[in-house]
Chains A and B, each alone.
Chain A
Amino acid sequence: MGLCSAAVTSDPPRVCVDPAGQGLRLGGAGGELLPLLAGAMHYFQLPSAVWPRCLDAICELGLEVVDTYVPWGVHERAAGDYDFESANGRFNLRLDAFLDACAERQLKVILRPGPHINAELTYFGFPERIIKDGRCLARGASGQPVIMPAPPRFFPVPSYASERFFEQAEHWLRAVAERVSSRRWPDGPIVAAQVDNELSLFFRTAAYDQDYHPDAVAAYRRWLVARYPDGLPAGYGAVAAVVETADPPRIFDAAGAEQLVPHLDWVAFKEHLVQGALARLGAALREGGLDGIPLTHNFPAGGHGESVGICCAERVVDVASVDLYLLKRDYGAARRAAERVAGSSRLPMLGELGWGGALWWAPQSLEDQLAAALTTLMHGVRALSFYMTVGRDRWYGAPIDERGRRDSARFEATQSLVAAVREAELWSLERDVDVALMEVRELRRLQRVTHLTGPTPPMVLDLFGLGPEELCSDDTFGFASAVQRDVARVERAVCDVLDELGVAFRRVDSDLAPSELACYRVLIVPSFELCDAALLERLASYVAGGGQLVLLPRVPERDMQMKPLETPIPEHVLIDDEDPSEALEELLERLGALPQLRAPEGVDVAHYRRDAESAIFVANRGETSRQVSLDGIELAGRWVWDAITGAPVNPKALHVEARQVRMLRSRPSNTGPVPRQPRPDAAKDAEKVTS
């Protein structure tokens, strides 16, 4: 997905995203590859005296990149007046000195100046004046501010449509950018800048929760004018037919398909609003001098509650990553997040991989976090930031504490994981993935508007394992079934079949360009009566390029205005069986897309290769330990060892604990010994090499 948008600026890019999605390229597309294995450290929470110890320890972990927030509310002395020098209060504001300390150690920096940063700071790093300025605040459906219930103070959240808020935020971003622009690579350590943080309207993405700020409503009307130059569709009704006065829906009241249109539009507008906010804040950073380097963003891993798709976001920033804070038991959620980012981002990255935790979350153990890390690497993540690598106020469990001391178990575990990834050069290995499952954005919107739980954030419900099947209404709106619930059923059924067959697949966003879909031989699209005409055109391009399109369970009939589709349906295979397993298996067999290795039920295997090098991940999804044989992978005459411990393993009888993910390495035995000595405690895990 080789768009290198940093190159759009007039000067040659200093840094850009690797066209092959392996990391960043220093000096432009042909420059040195910088794999993005980063560690989070917040300079402002630590005295300068401990920085050297912390940064040295980060280097020892094998990390080359530090990511740090730059908190607006902490640096601001008065409106528009920023302090980047003081170090005598609660916070250490010496940003330049910190960047220099990183540069001295050859560490690169991803700078994250917000304006929203969270970082467990009071008011998420916003200046108090912002969250007390009514003109800046998001509004709920009945006009009241929208409260973020985050310790140690609940606060009303800013509106990402408010002109007043943007003016203030842009001033801050330009000031930071001006301050640090001279420290961009190669003159300094900054290789990327992140625009905002988890821009998801503060996780409150329910359709009718927010944002009814007057500026948002005005933007909504402008958006409608642009979308419907010939007037609003019938679904808007006679009262709201005048675009200039159209009021956004505040509750869900659609009874028929046509009446769905304003509701679906409202959610689409909010995605547009988020995308526009990212673009605008990113532009402020560029204008301030942070051009020539990639801009990134990190979304919360929201399941079905995400605020905007990764592809949409990557039209305005270079990399849209996701954050992941999951436990060992959340293998499925971690896998889905990884498959989604691997299928849709130009650099599959975890902007934050929870490494430790905040007091107000469920305690996360080292075991949990290692499992989450390996799960995401197994399913396609190529870059990540350990958040936090250095501890701080309101955080526990980092491998390096706030005094720069190492927590031996965490430090060694992190070091081993990083070493395993680096030695394998995992970012450069490829997995054969022939199949993609499309997540259709328009159907996601339908799920959003038919949620029965009102303003309750879908992302929060997701944490309790609750999705559209549990939470969406049974209304059919004149379709053959309750589409909003069936989408989830179909997706689940397809995933189950593919898992059972051992078929590797990725989840792709329906906004993905046809050229990016071309790498998949089979594209499975949950398909119901309604479909965006533009999506059909993209699917037609995919089919024209030789791809096999599978629609299930129905063929679209109407466009998103609920009019009969004029765009022809591309050539496809329709699977309309209640149980799609047989038909899918037959199809994949006919296409030669079934794998040689069929892992036992409850076990996932992922095999990554480049020339003679390979990495094999084995995940046991079950509740009991298993012996797994990797017979389907050609391993004769090869060393096989555990990439984390360095201990040799027997691939014919690999022991995998319950809910464990193991990362193995393999290399021809005539290329020398296993490169790393097993850790002393690895002996007990060692298994005889028989290959």
Chain B
Amino acid sequence: MISRDIRIEHLDERHLANLVRAMDPPEGRGEPEAAARPRKRRSSGLFERLTGAASASADDERDDSGLGAAAEQAKKRPRWRPPVVALTRAGRVLRLFRLGGGTLPRGTLRSADPEDLKRFRRKHELPFVVAVDVEALPRLYSQVQKDVRVDDDMVAQQLAMLRAVRAALDGGEVVVEPRLIGALPIPSYDILQKSFDLVLPDGRSALFYIVDGHRIWTSAIVHKEKGDVSVLTSHRAIADEVELRSIKTDAPRVVEAVTRRYGPVHVGFFVTLHTWHAFVSGDRGAIARALATRTAVLDPCPPWLFALVGAGAVSEAASRSARLAGRLLSRSRFLSSGAGKLVQSMTSPLEVLGVDPWELMKWAQAWSRRVLPLI
């Protein structure tokens, strides 16, 4: 999935920093009506089962995912505090410290028992707590080093690492509270590769632009060859040919420039920052509405992308008005298809993984909120 010879070029730190934080909108962002709507949690069940993120958000963090009543709940989000790590031996706490430095009296935490950890985390309003059995660490390293093979793709290598960590989690040698990756089903590499091939076929490029006013807030351009991402770059790679100042007028020129430079574009995703923040704050219809008002452009728009950003809006719209769906699709090759049938066919790449993309996003967001401040 990632070429050993991948080219990563024409990036800059400001756009890169924005990209890293793209999943975590500033507090209070999101459209008011979305915030006002009662939160209707929709879950495949899978991620709820596996991550505990959904339950953690409901029970503990209130707006852990940021995907519900975003604005109001985001305001209630507790101040981020450094996570705490407990080093243990046979359940006994040897050392307790904050990531970032500073020890805590070890009596503060009774044991590495998940219930104790849960109480401790709640009491101290921590993003997460990790308990690690020090006797297990050499075994964990040894297992990882045994399982990682040099010829494997890096994603396969990471999966091997993840499996070793997962085994340590299952064995109680490492405990993470909340169970952010507690019951994570780790997909096989083959399935991931197949899904990826459906998401972005070989020889094609994908573009992702977020625009703030007349300036690009962040961008990513990827190109895929022989199953692997072979290029990762940004708008700066084509800056000598075209500069995007207006989504409405410049998006097609960007697509053309990328096609000339890297190859045919399979995905073109251009949205405003406002729309993006609303979308990741839980307003599923934000991008669909922006498409209708031409403040977003999805062109080309493969079925999976349409499903991702439009399914909720389309299903609502389809029941009320075929006209809205028509507007949503006005620039895509799905214009003439029936909306319901489209949604059915479009979700296939993600179905291969058995993942609800919204739940995936929720999980990613929960992680980013907990972990990004560490970076």
Contact = CB atoms under 8 A, between A and B. Distances in A.
Interface of A: 90, 122, 131-132, 140-142, 144-147, 149, 151-156, 208-209, 251, 356-357, 359, 362-366, 391-397, 401-402, 407, 452-456, 464-467, 469-471, 473-474
A155 B138 contact: no
B217 interface: no
Contact of B17 (A154, A365, A456, A473): A365
Contacts of B99: 464-466
B101 to A, nearest CB: 3
B185 to A, nearest CB: 23
Interface in B4-41: 4-14, 16-17, 20
Contacts of A466: 97, 99, 101
Nearest to B20: A363
Given A356-B13, A453-B87, A454-B138, A469 B150 contact: no
A294 B37 CA distance: 70
Contacts of B137: 453-456
Contact of A397 (B4, B7, B13, B102): B13
A132 B6 CA distance: 20
B43 interface: no
Contact of B101 (A131, A141, A208, A465): A465
Closest 8 CB pairs of A and B: A465-B101, A454-B137, A396-B11, A363-B17, A470-B97, A362-B375, A455-B141, A363-B13
B87 A396 contact: no
Nearest to A359: B8
A252 B71 CA distance: 52
A319 B275 CA distance: 54
Contact of B13 (A140, A144, A209, A365): A365
B142 interface: yes
Contacts of B12: 396-397, 407
A212 to B, nearest CB: 12
B355 interface: no
Nearest to A363: B17
A63 B54 CA distance: 54
Given A153-B4, A208-B138, A453-B134, A364 B13 contact: yes
A154 B5 contact: no
A132 B150 CA distance: 8
B171 to A, nearest CB: 16
Nearest to B134: A452
Interface string B138-177: 1001101110101000100100010000000000000000
A153 B1 CA distance: 11
B22 to A, nearest CB: 12
A386 to B, nearest CB: 15
17 contacts: A147-B144, A151-B2, A152-B4, A154-B148, A156-B145, A356-B13, A357-B13, A359-B232, A363-B16, A391-B9, A392-B9, A393-B9, A396-B12, A453-B132, A454-B141, A465-B101, A473-B94
A470 B134 contact: no
Q: Main SS of the interface on chain A?
A: loop
A145 B145 contact: yes
A452 B146 CA distance: 22
Nearest to B7: A393
B100 interface: yes
Contact of B102 (A131, A153, A470): A470
Contacts of B2: 151-152
Contact of A144 (B9, B10, B146): B146
Nearest to B18: A363
B231 to A, nearest CB: 10
Contacts of B103: 469-470
B133 to A, nearest CB: 10
Contacts of B141: 140, 209, 454-456
A146 B138 CA distance: 12
Nearest to A364: B13
Interface of B: 2-14, 16-17, 20, 87, 94-95, 97, 99-103, 132, 134, 137-138, 141-142, 144-146, 148, 150, 154, 157, 161, 232, 374-375
Contacts of A471: 87, 95, 97
A455 B138 contact: yes
Contacts of A467: 101
A464 B100 contact: yes
A691 to B, nearest CB: 38
B145 A144 contact: yes
Nearest to B161: A149
B154 A147 contact: no
Given A140-B145, A208-B138, 9 more contacts: A141-B138, A147-B144, A153-B4, A359-B16, A363-B14, A393-B9, A454-B138, A470-B101, A473-B94
B11 to A, nearest CB: 4
Interface centre among A131, A362, A401 (most CB of B within 10 A): A362
B116 to A, nearest CB: 19
Contacts of A363: 13-14, 16-17, 20
A392 B3 CA distance: 17
B52 to A, nearest CB: 24
Contacts of A149: 148, 157, 161
Contact of B100 (A209, A356, A454, A465): A465
Contacts of A209: 141
B154 A153 contact: yes
Nearest to A464: B99
B269 to A, nearest CB: 20
A422 to B, nearest CB: 26
Contacts of A251: 138
A662 to B, nearest CB: 23
Contact of B150 (A131, A141, A396, A397): A131
Contact of B154 (A151, A357, A453, A454): A151
B144 to A, nearest CB: 7
B16 A396 contact: yes
Given A147-B148, A467-B101, A396 B13 contact: yes
Contact of A152 (B11, B95, B102, B154): B154
A90 B2 CA distance: 17
B249 to A, nearest CB: 26
A146 B144 CA distance: 9
Contacts of B11: 359, 396-397
Contacts of B375: 362
A623 to B, nearest CB: 15
Contacts of B4: 122, 152-153
Contacts of B157: 149, 153-154
Contacts of A145: 145
A451 to B, nearest CB: 9
Contacts of B5: 90, 122, 152
B8 A394 contact: yes
Contacts of B374: 464
Contacts of A155: 150
A365 B95 contact: no
Given A140-B141, A147-B145, A453-B87, A393 B13 contact: no
Contacts of B144: 147
Nearest to A398: B12
Nearest to A454: B137
Nearest to B103: A470
Given A152-B2, A365-B13, A142 B101 contact: no
A154 B154 contact: yes
A466 B99 CA distance: 7
A444 to B, nearest CB: 18
A393 B5 CA distance: 10
A42 to B, nearest CB: 13
A282 B232 CA distance: 37
A152 B155 CA distance: 9
Given A153-B157, A464-B99, A470-B97, A140 B150 contact: no
A156 B144 CA distance: 12
Contacts of B13: 356-357, 363-366, 396-397
A145 B9 CA distance: 32
